[in-house]
Amino acid sequence: MSSFKFTGLCTATHTPFDSEGGLNLAAVEPQAKFLRSHGITSVFIGGTTGESSSLTLAERLDLSDRWSKVGPDVGIDVIVHVGANCLTDAAALAARAERNQAKAVSMIAPSYFKPRTINDLIGCCEMVARAAPNTPFYYYDIPGMTGITGFPADQFLEQAADRIPNLAGIKYSNPDLAAYRKARALAGGRFDMPFGVDEMFLAAMQAGATAGVGSTYNFNPGPLQRVISALTKGDTALAEAEQAKVQPVVDILAKRGYMGAAKALMGHLGVPLGPARLPNGNPDAAETKKMIGELEAIGFFSWNF
């Protein structure tokens, strides 16, 4: 298995659609070049931000194939989210990701029929990880979306380690930092724990995080890049000031429906990724203009561009 480990900021990318909502693979290359031009060197594709639950298996396989070509060509490592309610689909996505030489795979557990015990959760992950045995595997803990709770990260890692040989860690999109600290300390810090709540990134770094995976890095990477730099220099005040620039942007987008608003913002930045798919909604032209005005008013465009 490769020695991959998350570092810095890994962008959870949007899946590009055309104006009618069809998959638009031609947009992946300009999307990747835009991210690389803003200091991003790794992406997490087909996850929550990528609207994976609204994609067909065929679309997800095609997306993985396209990023596997484009990412390395522009200097970006590709991590593929493979989770699905159907574990057979998840395993097929993991196998394709390994064939495409993805740096890692990650999965949410099935969340319609939820695992009832930690043994069931590990069994789900074991089945999918086995389909990509030479690729680092990360469980994706995001209880706010899956509704899967009650399985502390440290207990999962302790019990899963012997059953999943390629277990590398957890993509931790969970606001419970006390549980995060326990998992980070497990086995002398053996497991990789990239953090996925952008609004809490500084607190997570102070709890031991060394990397993040987030959606705001698509359009607002500057503040958290500077958080990392400031902490390296011991400048906590600057780190706090930069972290404070994340929440207002999230709030401006979220009140319009975060997914559609984020994709509209990307279009404004010159990276047209199409609309979000239902059940996510999209702001109309007038609302998008109002959103851009609010972002201008807080100085957003001077932070990154």
Residue 189: predicted pLDDT: 86
Question: Is the CB of residue 213 less than 8 Å from the CB of residue 10?
Answer: yes
Residue 112 is assigned to a structural domain of this protein: yes
For residue 191, give the nearest of 161, 162, 218 by alpha carbon: 161
Cα dist from 69 to 122, 144, 166, 196, whole Å: 31, 32, 24, 25
Q: Is residue 193 situated within a structural domain?
A: yes
Residue 187: the pLDDT is 74
Where do runs of H (alpha helix) occur along the chain?
Answer: 28-37, 57-74, 87-99, 118-129, 143-146, 153-160, 177-185, 201-206, 221-232, 236-243, 246-254, 258-268, 285-297, 300-304
Distance CA 215, CA 10 (A): 9
Asked whether residue 264 is assigned to any structural domain, the reply reads no
Which of 103, 138, 139, 140 is labelled catalytic?
140
Residue 215 pLDDT level (bands cut at 50, 70, 90) = very high
SS3 assignment, position 129 = helix
DSSP 140-187: EE-HHHH---S--HHHHHHHHTTT-TTEEEEEE--S-HHHHHHHHHGG
* CATH assignment at residue 137: 3.20.20.70
By DSSP bridging, strand 137-141 and strand 104-107 are parallel
Could you say which of 103, 139, 171, 245 is catalytic? 171
Residue 299 lies in a domain: no
Q: What is the rounded CA–CA span in Å between residue 171 and residue 108?
A: 9
Mean pLDDT of 11-31: 97
On whether residue 33 sits in a domain, the answer given is yes
Instruction: Check if 171 is active-site.
Output: yes
pLDDT at 2: 72
Any domain includes 156: yes
Question: Number of C-alpha atoms within 13 angstroms, CB side, residue 272?
Answer: 7
Q: Which residues pair with 43 in a beta bridge?
A: 11, 78
Please state the rounded mean pLDDT for residues 282-303. 96
Instruction: Note the pLDDT tens digit of each residue in 84-127.
Output: 999 999 999 999 999 999 999 999 999 999 999 999 999 999 99
| Number of separate domains in the chain | 1
pLDDT for 269 beyond 80: yes
Mean pLDDT along residues 247-257:
98
In a domain, 247, yes or no: no
The pLDDT value given to residue 15 = 98
- Tell whether 123 is covered by a domain: yes
User: What is the rounded average pLDDT for all residues in the chain?
Assistant: 96
Q: Identify the domain containing residue 205 by its residue range.
A: 8-236
